[in-house]
Structure 1
Amino acid sequence: MNTSVPELIARVAADFPDRRAVRDPAGHLTYRELLAGAGHWERVLRAQGVAAGDTVAVCLPRSAVTLQAILGIWRAGAVFVPLDPSHPSHRWSFVVADCGARAVVCAGDADAGRLRAALPGPAGAGPAVLRVEDVAPNPSSGPVEGVAAEALPVEGSAPAYILYTSGSTGTPKGVVVGHDAFAQYVRCAGELYKGASGPAPWHSPLIFDATATALWVPLAHGGEILVVPGSDPLSGLEGLGLLLEEQREIGILKITPTHLESLAEWLGPEWTGNTIASLVVGGEAFRPDQALPWLPLCDQIVNEYGPTESTVGVVVAEVTDRHVDEGVIPVGHPLPGTEILLLGADDTPVAHGEAGELCVAGTQLADGYLNRPELTAERFPPHPLIPGARMYRTGDLARVGRDGELLYLGRIDEQIKFRGQRIEPAEIEAALNGHSEVVQSAVVLRSDRLVAHVVAVDALRPPRGQDLAAYLKELLPPGWVPQLFEPLDRLPVTHNGKLDRKALVQVTG
């Protein structure tokens, strides 16, 4: 069993109590202060009846206090469930009810009021809502005794966190990740990424599992978290740019290709950069032109691949000049403890060099989907070659290149990767079809825009796109609202009667 992530952080605090752990606009915390605050949150949660195995939802912006609260949840033996402050109340309500949260941590009167209104059940019967402003001030100092690793026993098979991803049926699904799988990733990343013990910008939301690289890998290896203020998925861009202009040294910068491209444009071609030890890119396909400006600015650029169901990242490739010159960046080789299978339609391995569905097996697999046993059985079937083992079907196509590295070829289903987010069009369509003036809809990705094709109740007077966008903003995360709404008399279908999404992508808007 791996030493758990909170145990690894506690060991750093015991060895280097006065090393700086977190810096945010409000100040900074040493490892001693980080762990002292975590212990305080543990006591607060236990006083609210939170016990081992309970779930605690966290709806907080990026801050040092947020990290203390999460560590306090783990110290209490509970399961961390992130909520995004920018998401609509409807989504908060679903997640809190689905995971059965014992408590919800938030900040400010506005979010507390929205949460109480959104919580399931009669007033006062649901989970406790804890505002950080109401929690007694976190201790700023104190002895490290009592926060050493041995004081934090965590069952490796116990869940560490639950992340909700887009669902193909229109309902989000919670991916349950155990402490062992989580620790395996953090340990492997710490060994591979040169900047693991250095300063790491935190600029992305907690609901992205990619954020784990920027937070828990550095903290488990004695690094420092540099908090970029804000909570919106891309609100960290300007703050991240300013930080890179001011910070002379960066350990790990974890970012999506789309965000990286925007960051390069924001900094401008005249920016010569500081030292970035490890630029880790993931979440969507990484193009050579996106990597090119960063090659002279980084000691190491890593293309990291992995769905949430396999705990952040399981396949990595160090990007070189050769990859850029050849015009293809591979996803690379599996991390230790991970097995990659490329399977054909009959679930038998494909021949070398042929395309197959990329399936993942090994120690980083998630436990499955919360409250979704049928979906878990479908997506985590038995390993075809090892009795008693499981694998995860990613839905991605890949093949092995001539140098033995995996090459990503695209999706075999209808899922969309949009600006680093994994989106099921069916979830947007289900929300859109609930509008009183919409009969049917279909959402596609076209030229880096989400486009919704809408069949209206009244074809002569279709609803305005701005009205549909306003309607969806109350139901969906901000980044999932289509940028364009196109009315159609009917949706195109294939010869066998299925929706023809390829035809929709080719429609000129």
Structure 2
Amino acid sequence: MESTRAAAEQRLDHLLLQQWEREPDLPALIRGDSVVTAGELRDRVLASAAALRERGVVDGDLVAVYQPRSIEFVVSVLAVVFAGAAHVAFDVGDPPERTRHEIVDCAPRLVVTTREGAARLAPPVPALLIDDDRRPALEQPAPPRTAPAAPAVVLFTSGSTGRPKASVISHAAVASRMAAFQKGHPMGPGDRVLHHTACTFDLYLAELYWPLLVGAAVVIAEPGRQRDAAHLARLIQDDRVTTFCGVPSLLELFLLDRDSTERYDGLKYVIVGGEALSPDLVRRFHARSTASLTNIYGPSECTVFATAWTCPRDPDPDLVLIGPPVPDTTVHLLDENRLAVPDGQPGEVFIGGVGVADGYLGRPELTAERFVTGIAGAEGRLYRTGDLARRHPDGALEFLGRLDHQVKIRGVRVETGEVEATAMRCPGVRQAAVVAAGSGSDKRLYAFVVPEPGTDRQALPAEVRERLREWLPQAMLPSAVRVLDALPLTQNGKLDRQSLAQQAPVEHRAEPAAPPAASDRATTTGGMEDLVSGIWRTVLGVPQLSHDEDFFDIGGDSFRAVQVMGAVQEALGRKVPLDVLLRLPTVETFSAGLLELTGEAEPVR
């Protein structure tokens, strides 16, 4: 691939077409037994782009893509770019009501989806069904007339005002960032990248565009199994994956869930970001793989990443940094007066360069607030991140935390203000506050609500959580909802978030049930549900739960899932795949799944 600067001077569709026509027989997409070559992918993308043009898509439009992870999803997002538009991909696992609101907000020309997706979403704009019997004619649409500075991607993230905001990202930004990945981690034909990241997390752009631009192949994970370590490990080994991107908590899950003797020496590169990477995790990964481990940093407003640091070996680091800026990127650390701070001193991170987004779609005031100009010693616009960092003598940056109430939950950026605003929509809620408590993989959201007069206080937490489940993605759901008479205030009359954070974990530490004895055997529905309920309450630290509560909605995560499966396997004396819990995450459904498997699973050895 060309240099970052040269790549930024071309559109993504031009770069892709050059690569596909240069080596059309290379494998491009792999999904199970299905392999799509570069030439076949070119033909399918051009045909789909022609269909979009037939439906009225013109240069500069936005087109929504609402499909599960699949070969068809990749074809659709690329076809949008080849049709001259920008793609806005939505996760089919998110609540439909939230997705409909975001579609209204971005006003796309079309939604590209399946019949099942259209029925579930009931999109407020016309839909192009990819499983329609009518096949579009194979023809290349007229080349888009827009420049590399034109939008290629629109990506929604959580908004502090209660309304999600959408970053507008150009062809130049994506192309430059993919060239930066390639410069630091060279790959080409024969290499394979695992695509498992949800399309609402900008890292998915690297999983698709980077390999396709350099002749490598994309190995596509099954939809809904991005947390299933066994499935991902099997793909890495069976499909000879050489590059894996993800959040540190997923890497942690690999090391916890897989046999301690299992190695991943077939991997060349592992790239993690979105969460803090601990020195201990670096050491444990290095002990299991010869692959390099790179820690990246950067908000979606700066296109996937802005800095990168490859963790050294022998010795492993005692402090994990986020690295120096990648090519075509500048990072400025500024004080409250927007003046540069000396090296070694903390300052707010301002990012400049080709990768900076064009701003927020339809939000000029917010764009002006976060994308700033006129900074001494800086050229062009800078994105104000709200993050704190300090620069080490060698130029590498150390991440120090946030200035505001934005948090990362399992790698997903969450504005607590959005969760609060959504909670205020729930009947019976007069006030709401949301805080994060815990650190690393134990970080969770907790909601505190003040009820309207006459509201049933005992029933309100369950009602609020049920409503939030309808409106918010899983990572934004509070682990617990607590009813207060009033929200605590500081002496200045502001919400006392520190006081709430100190109260937050109380809900999950209230006298958990004792774990069931390993000798217990559950052979009936009721007995199995009792066993499962006891294990969940012990692992999650909750005093009670109902049979239809989702494990991941009440504080469960990848780590606790591994703990649950260990306790279940010990109690049953049988191996049980982690996938059972991921697919069937309520006490009722998980218990039924265990009863189904009990007679077939092999004993734990």
TM-score (norm: length of structure 1): 0.91
User: Cα offset for 1:274?
Assistant: 3.4
Match of residue 9 from structure 2? 2
Aligned partner of 2:208 among 207, 210, 215: 215
Deviates more, 1:378-387 or 1:347-356: 378-387
Decide whether aligned partners of structure 1 residues 273 and 387 sit closer, same or farther in structure 2, where only a CA change above 3 A counts.
Answer: closer
Decide whether aligned partners of structure 1 residues 202 and 388 sit closer, same or farther in structure 2, where only a CA change above 3 A counts.
Answer: closer
Match of residue 476 from structure 1? 472
Distance 1:454 1:42 in 2: 48
Match of residue 122 from structure 1? none
Q: Which has the larger radius of gyration?
A: 2
Distance 1:322 1:506 in 2: 40
1:36–1:138 contact (8 Å) kept in structure 2: no
Decide whether aligned partners of structure 1 residues 135 and 386 sit closer, same or farther in structure 2, where only a CA change above 3 A counts.
Answer: farther
Deviates more, 1:433-442 or 1:393-402: 433-442
Match of residue 92 from structure 2? 85
1:114 counterpart = 2:120: yes
User: Cα offset for 1:70?
Assistant: 1.3
Match of residue 46 from structure 2? 39
Distance 1:415 1:47 in 2: 42
Higher strand share: 1
Match of residue 584 from structure 2? none
Aligned partner of 1:303 among 295, 301, 304: 295
Match of residue 337 from structure 1? 328
1:196–1:252 contact (8 Å) kept in structure 2: no
1:178–1:367 contact (8 Å) kept in structure 2: yes
Matches within 5 A, 1:316-355: 316-321=308-313, 324-326=316-318, 328-355=319-346
User: Cα offset for 1:286?
Assistant: 1.1
The Cα offsets for residues 28-84 of structure 1, whole Å up to 9 and x where unpaired, read as 100001110001101111111111111100011111111111111111101100111
Distance 1:387 1:25 in 2: 48
Match of residue 129 from structure 1? 127
Deviates more, 1:306-315 or 1:263-272: 263-272
Secondary structure in 2 matching 1:396: strand
Aligned partner of 1:424 among 415, 431, 438: 415
Matches within 5 A, 1:253-272: 253-272=244-263
Match of residue 148 from structure 2? 156
1:210–1:283 contact (8 Å) kept in structure 2: no
Secondary structure in 2 matching 1:250: coil
Aligned partner of 1:60 among 59, 67, 70: 67
Secondary structure in 1 matching 2:486: coil
Aligned partner of 2:234 among 242, 247, 266: 242
- Which AA in structure 2 matches 1:449? R
Distance 1:325 1:317 in 2: 11
User: Cα offset for 1:189?
Assistant: 0.8
User: Cα offset for 1:238?
Assistant: 3.9
Moved over 6 A (4+): none
Secondary structure in 1 matching 2:131: helix
- Which AA in structure 2 matches 1:442? A
Match of residue 230 from structure 1? 223
2:51–2:136 contact (8 Å) kept in structure 1: no
1:219–1:225 contact (8 Å) kept in structure 2: yes
Distance 1:28 1:466 in 2: 46
Match of residue 293 from structure 1? 284
Distance 2:315 2:135 in 1: 51
Coordinate RMSD, CA, aligned: 2.2
2:407–2:416 contact (8 Å) kept in structure 1: yes
Distance 1:285 1:37 in 2: 39
Distance 2:351 2:445 in 1: 29
Distance 2:221 2:228 in 1: 6
Match of residue 28 from structure 1? 35
Distance 2:27 2:466 in 1: 43
Distance 1:277 1:497 in 2: 54
1:456–1:463 contact (8 Å) kept in structure 2: no
User: Cα offset for 1:356?
Assistant: 0.4
Aligned partner of 2:56 among 49, 55, 58: 49
1:186 counterpart = 2:192: no
Match of residue 109 from structure 2? 102
User: Cα offset for 1:467?
Assistant: 2.6
User: Cα offset for 1:98?
Assistant: 1.5
The Cα offsets for residues 446-493 of structure 1, whole Å up to 9 and x where unpaired, read as 232221122223587243433322111111112211121222222222
Match of residue 447 from structure 2? 452
Unaligned runs of 5+ in 2: 1-7, 507-605
Match of residue 499 from structure 1? 495
TM-score (norm: length of structure 2): 0.77
Secondary structure in 1 matching 2:40: helix
1:9–1:219 contact (8 Å) kept in structure 2: yes
Of structures 1 and 2, the one scoring higher in RCO (CA 8 A, sep 6+) is: 1
User: Cα offset for 1:195?
Assistant: 4.2
Unaligned runs of 5+ in 1: 120-126
1:456–1:462 contact (8 Å) kept in structure 2: no
The Cα offsets for residues 285-329 of structure 1, whole Å up to 9 and x where unpaired, read as 111122222224143111011101111111000111367442x10
Secondary structure in 1 matching 2:9: coil
